[in-house]
Structure 1
Amino acid sequence: MKVINLHQEEQELILLAVDNNRQAQQRIYTLFSPKMLSVCRQYIKDIHQAEDVMLTAFMKVFTNLKNFMNIGSFEGWIRRIMVNECISFIRVQKNIKFTDDETFFEESYNNIESQFSIEDIQFLIDSLPDGYKMIFNLYAIEGYKHKEIAEMLGINEGTSKSQLSHARKILQKQINTTKNYEYGTE
């Protein structure tokens, strides 16, 4: 069995892609596009628009590949470009306004993974208002802190916390409604 150093292979691919080697660029795209489409889909409900945003973001990846400093993971660097491109797309398309309501509640929520399929969870998240959905994805899915989200979106940190709190309440209400419907208690 031959052991392949994936990190070294990735670095070689990056160097070739920086030199506009189309095969290397295609390989990078093939390796990362399924995950990155999933990232875009978390923010953008329409699959065709999510694909368009992903393609635009990949163009930015290849344009800025020379700026990748090998600090952190390459996939993480690409993912950040995808998230930023999604945010830009949503801002232009939806003209989202965030309310400066800084009241929020920290509540604990049960793990719902075992109760719902990934498609069900994505459907629930998709039904959130765009601002709530964006903050929820950035915080709960991407792992950004409220301070980072506030900087990315040009909002107050309290607004980020408030939007997340409202998103969680809506999701919890939807989950409870779905449970009640499934068990015939509604």
Structure 2
Amino acid sequence: MTEEAILQGCLKNEAAAQRELYNRYSPKMLAVCYRFAHNREDAEDMLQEGFIKVFSQMHTFQNKGAFEGWIRRIIVHTCINNLKKNKRFNESLDIVHAHGVQVREESVPSIVQAKQIVECIRILPIGYRTVLNLYAIEGYSHKEIADMLDIEESTSRSQYTRAKQMLEEILIRKKILTKPKEKSDWMVAIH
């Protein structure tokens, strides 16, 4: 089934088209949800809620840009809204460290699997993890993140800086990152 046929079928609420859309895009979108969620069950809940929004908002897609990108934006916003309802998320965004954080662009050997790094990202406090995902992986600006999360732009920047520092420490502790400067940027591996 072509993308256009799926779109037209979904606009007519055809179950076959909706099933095809879900089957085609749910694996990638589950990976997006998984990066934001506390566990797989939460990720699956976010995914389901996101696809309900996709189906209910299908009429707003205007064929400007990629359809997958449009779905991804809805899924990301669903994840963010879900996290904003979480008390731990809001408390995490308020964390202030007394010591200065030095950021270094670190690297990992090319043999390291991105899955290992994603698992390390999931160890980060929820606020750090969310800002890191939105900025480094999803490509949102700090201003956009601040608007999405109802925080100051400077808070987004500091959360990102702290997330990178903490992730670096986790990667070193887990022996994924072995020394401060290696040949390839470790942030590349998470894309």
TM-score, normalised relative to structure 2: 0.83
8 Å contact kept, 2:108–2:178: no
Taking the TM superposition and a 5 Å limit, the aligned residue runs for 1:148-159 are: 148-159=144-155
Alignment partners' CA distance in 2, 1:96 and 1:45: 11
TM-score, normalised relative to structure 1: 0.85
Alignment partners' CA distance in 2, 1:169 and 1:182: 15
> Partner amino acid for 2:139?
G
Establish whether residue 57 from structure 1 lines up as the match of residue 50 from structure 2. Answer: yes
Counterpart of 2:105 in structure 1 is 109
1:7-56 Cα offsets, whole Å, 9 max, x none, are xx212210111111111111110100000000000100311111111011
8 Å contact kept, 1:104–1:165: no
Q: Give identity over the alignment, percent.
A: 37
Q: Which runs of 5+ in 1 are unaligned?
A: 1-5
Alignment partners' CA distance in 1, 2:155 and 2:87: 19
> Partner amino acid for 1:99?
D
- SS in structure 1 of the partner of residue 86 of structure 2: helix
Query: How many equivalent pairs are there?
Result: 176
How far residue 179 of structure 1 moved from its aligned partner, in angstroms, is: 2.5
How far residue 120 of structure 1 moved from its aligned partner, in angstroms, is: 1.6
Change (3 A) 1:182 1:92: same
Establish whether residue 176 from structure 1 lines up as the match of residue 172 from structure 2. Answer: yes
- SS in structure 2 of the partner of residue 96 of structure 1: helix
Alignment partners' CA distance in 2, 1:144 and 1:51: 23
Q: Which runs of 5+ in 2 are unaligned?
A: 180-191
Larger relative CO (CA 8 A, sep 6+): 1 or 2?
2
How far residue 100 of structure 1 moved from its aligned partner, in angstroms, is: 8.1
Change (3 A) 1:180 1:79: closer
How far residue 89 of structure 1 moved from its aligned partner, in angstroms, is: 1.4
Taking the TM superposition and a 5 Å limit, the aligned residue runs for 1:1-186 are: 9-97=2-90, 98-99=93-94, 107-112=103-108, 114-179=110-175
Q: Look at both structures and tell me which one has the larger radius of gyration over its CA atoms.
A: 1
8 Å contact kept, 1:96–1:130: yes
